[in-house]
Structure 1
Amino acid sequence: MVYIILFFVGVIATTIGTLAGGGGLISLPAMLFLGMPIHSAIGANKVSNMVSSFSSFFTLYRRNQISLKESSWLIPFSLGGGITGGLIASHLSPENLYVIAVILLIFAFVTSFIGKTKPKGAKPLKLSPVSGTGLFGIGIYDGLFGPGQGTLMLYLFSYLNIAYVRSVGLVRLATFSSCFGAAISYILSGAVIWPLTLALMAGSVTGAQLGVRIAEKLNPDYVKPILRVVTALIIVQLIAENVL
């Protein structure tokens, strides 16, 4: 029964995470509720995210929605930011991490109401001071704390006028990059409980493919409202966890 629950948790969390980010705030609490040790739950999340993220990126790449020329350069920025964030995290208290997370998400939420509401999405992703700094900064946030990383990246790509479907592929590649090192670390440490992780992974891959198909058909007018709802829910959950 636990395996079936984890499968559907993976489907729901990754479908939402693919479309708007924040999937980890569904899957991680669910695993903890089912009694998984914290390190095993995080390890399962990283391993399943690594596999499902690559599957959704590869699907969009195979359909020519995204190219390696456009996307490959973001890998070192995400990895470098993640490593930097991990190093900084060791010097910050959990309370300060929650404050940083809430401030960044509120900032993204407010700025989403500024500027164009219907970006044409005609521009390719290119290395620039804004894109490079933004990706590295979000990578630092992912290494520091993580919840809402995909949501923040979607806001960044919207600001850069990147088409939503391509943005989804780019976010999933960045998520794969940031999760790869962490997943390997958890595997080598022996924290991963493989039967439970494989059940979550199967659901996550299913959710990733479902999310990609929904993203391809989603009316662009609905993207920002969905992002705003997900962002608001993440902020509320983070504040509730910190207060309670």
Structure 2
Amino acid sequence: MEYVMVFLIGIFATTVGTLAGGGGFISFPAMLILGMPVHSAIGANKVSNTISSFSSFFHLYKKKEISLKECFWIIPVSLGGGLSGGYIASKISGEHMYIIAIILLIFAFITSFKGKGSFTGENRLKMNKFSVPGLYGIGIYDGLFGPGQGTLMFYLFCYLKISYIQAVGLVRLATFSSCFGAAISYIATGKIMWPLTVCLLLGSLTGAQIGVRIAEKLKPRYVKPVLRVVTVALIIQMVVDRLY
């Protein structure tokens, strides 16, 4: 039953994450509630997101919604950020990581209310003083913890006046890069619980394909209110579970 739950969590979280970011708001706390250690829960998310995010990016690439020539530089920038964050996280104890996780989750939730753009811009992504440090910093955050990473990227691309469907593809490529770097760190330090991680991976692959197809027709404003309600419920659950 636990494996089925993790599979379903992967579907739902990645569908939401593909549409508006913040899928980690759902998958990470839910896996903690199921009893997975903090580092193992983060590592499972990194491994599953590496594969699922690339699958949704590749779907948009095949449909020519995004050009690899335009965005290939995202890979080393986000990869470097993910490796840096994953290394930092591996040096923190499970007890401290749990506390930091709750703090970062609340912080990421608050940031989800910032940025009111409509993603109607038509600019192409370019390397500049905002895009490079922005993506690297978010990559570190993704490697260190993760939930809210996609949402923060959406706001960055909105600020850069990138269209919504292109932003979806760019977020998924950046997520693949930073999660790949972080996943290497977690695998190397032996933090991965493979049976549950594989279940989450299979669910995430399914959710990625569902989400990217909905994204071609749906705007993020329809997803964010639901995401915020779920996030509040999970934060409360984490705090209550920790206290009692």
TM range (shorter): 0.7 to 0.9
SS in 1 for 2:42: helix
The answer as to whether partners of 2:18 and 2:168 remain within 8 angstroms in 1 is: yes
Equivalent runs, 1:20-59 vs 2, <5 Å:
20-59=20-59
1:213 aligns with 2:213: yes
Residue in 2 that maps onto 1:178 = 178
Residue in 1 that maps onto 2:125 = 125
Which piece of structure 1 moves more, 131-140 or 61-70?
131-140
TM-score scaled by length of structure 1: 0.81
CA 1:148/1:97 → structure 2, altered by over 3 Å: closer, same or farther?
Answer: same
- What one-letter code is carried by the residue in structure 2 that aligns with 1:29? P
Residue in 1 that maps onto 2:113 = 109
Shift of 1:26: 1.4
Residue in 2 that maps onto 1:14 = 14
Give the root-mean-square deviation of aligned CA atoms: 2.9
Deviation string for 1:60-79 (max 9, x for gaps)? 11111111111111122212
Residue in 2 that maps onto 1:161 = 161
Shift of 1:205: 0.1
Residue in 2 that maps onto 1:62 = 62
SS in 2 for 1:217: coil
Which piece of structure 1 moves more, 199-208 or 68-77?
68-77
Which piece of structure 1 moves more, 226-235 or 203-212?
226-235
Residue in 1 that maps onto 2:227 = 230
The answer as to whether partners of 1:134 and 1:156 remain within 8 angstroms in 2 is: yes
The answer as to whether partners of 2:75 and 2:174 remain within 8 angstroms in 1 is: yes
The answer as to whether partners of 2:29 and 2:234 remain within 8 angstroms in 1 is: no
SS in 1 for 2:208: helix
Tell me how far apart the structure 2 counterparts of residues 34 and 124 of structure 1 sit (CA, whole Å): 42
The answer as to whether partners of 1:109 and 1:228 remain within 8 angstroms in 2 is: no
Which piece of structure 1 moves more, 93-102 or 19-28?
93-102
Which piece of structure 1 moves more, 206-215 or 183-192?
183-192
CA 1:158/1:235 → structure 2, altered by over 3 Å: closer, same or farther?
Answer: farther
CA 1:87/1:198 → structure 2, altered by over 3 Å: closer, same or farther?
Answer: closer
The answer as to whether partners of 1:19 and 1:212 remain within 8 angstroms in 2 is: yes
The answer as to whether partners of 2:123 and 2:162 remain within 8 angstroms in 1 is: yes
The answer as to whether partners of 1:83 and 1:143 remain within 8 angstroms in 2 is: yes
Structure 2: tracts of 5 or more residues without a match = none
SS in 2 for 1:109: coil
Deviation string for 1:134-170 (max 9, x for gaps)? 2122223223432201000001111111111111111
The answer as to whether partners of 1:97 and 1:144 remain within 8 angstroms in 2 is: no
CA 1:42/1:86 → structure 2, altered by over 3 Å: closer, same or farther?
Answer: closer
Identical-residue share of aligned pairs (%): 58
Residue in 1 that maps onto 2:202 = 202
SS in 1 for 2:130: helix
The answer as to whether partners of 2:102 and 2:238 remain within 8 angstroms in 1 is: no
Shift of 1:49: 0.9
